[in-house]
């Protein structure tokens, strides 16, 4: 059984095996949580991302997929980058958002990670409504078959924290 808990705070301050990044498909940096992770983690993360782009991810990382790099100076062993879907009112992209959580856990498990911190993927610039984003995150992690022992949802503000805490109660 995986323990799941909501935490209010900045994900770049977490001490865990894996910090999940809500990246964009270029893997070459962005704003929000992506910018914060690269700022605090230092240039080694971007160097790894560039290597991945030069190797097997020439077109970038597809939405719903996940890939690991070093965590640089973060207090973690790896950063797992995943690309959330942009929210759409004309198309149901929930399966892609669920895939981000499932694939990140799969990659983390393959690495031997026991503790994983997730941000609320797609709920920032990508516009996913927080309550629905929290529902998909919690349902997907609860249903995942994983060797990861502990999942922390690290929520930046009180509204996000409440949305996740309510789903976990
Ligand atoms: P996306 O493009 O997937 O929407 P964002 O980074 O814009 O990604 O936002 C995802 C979520 O991460 C938002 O809820 C945002 O408030 C939150 N967030 C931003 N910075 C941090 C941080 N340092 N730690 C944890 N969560 C963060």
Q: How close is the Cα of 154 to the center of ligand 1, in Å?
A: 10
pLDDT at residue 63, rounded to an integer = 98
Residue 34 bears catalytic tag:
yes
Q: Which CATH class is domain 3-168?
A: alpha beta
pLDDT at residue 29, rounded to an integer = 87
pLDDT per position as a tens digit, 9-55: 999 999 999 999 999 999 998 999 999 999 999 999 999 999 999 99
Q: What does the alpha-carbon distance between residue 161 and residue 167 come to, in Å, rounded to a whole number?
A: 10
Q: Closest Cα to atom 18, ligand 1: which residue?
A: 33
Q: What does the alpha-carbon distance between residue 33 and residue 23 come to, in Å, rounded to a whole number?
A: 8
Residue 131 is given by DSSP the state H
pLDDT per position as a tens digit, 90-144: 999 999 999 999 999 999 999 999 999 999 999 999 999 999 999 999 999 999 9
Q: Which of 2, 9, 33, 37 is nearest to 153 (CA)?
A: 9
Mutational test site, ligand 1, from 33, 63, 123, 161, max ligand atoms within 8 Å of CB = 33
C-alpha torsion sign, points 159, 139, 151, 3: positive
What is the reported pTM?
0.98
Look at residue 1 and tell me whether its pLDDT is greater than 90: no
pLDDT at residue 162, rounded to an integer = 98
Q: How close is the Cα of 111 to the center of ligand 1, in Å?
A: 24
């Amino acid at each position: 059984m995986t323990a799941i808990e909501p935490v209010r705070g900045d994900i770049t301050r977490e001490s865990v095996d894996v910090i999940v990044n809500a990246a964009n498909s270029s893997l070459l940096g962005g704003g929000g949580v992506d910018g914060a992770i690269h700022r605090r983690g230092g240039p080694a993360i971007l160097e790894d991302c560039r290597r991945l782009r030069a190797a097997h991810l020439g077109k970038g990382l597809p939405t719903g997929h996940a890939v690991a790099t070093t965590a640089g100076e973060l207090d973690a062993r790896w950063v797992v980058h995943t690309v959330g879907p942009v929210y759409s009112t004309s198309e149901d992209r929930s399966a892609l958002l669920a895939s981000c959580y499932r694939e990140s856990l799969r990659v983390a498990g393959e690495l031997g990670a026991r503790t994983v911190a997730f941000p609320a993927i797609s709920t920032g610039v990508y516009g996913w409504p927080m309550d629905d984003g929290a529902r998909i995150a919690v349902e997907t992690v609860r249903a995942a078959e994983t060797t990861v022992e502990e999942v922390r949802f690290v929520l930046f503000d009180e509204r996000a924290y409440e949305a996740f805490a309510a789903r976990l109660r």
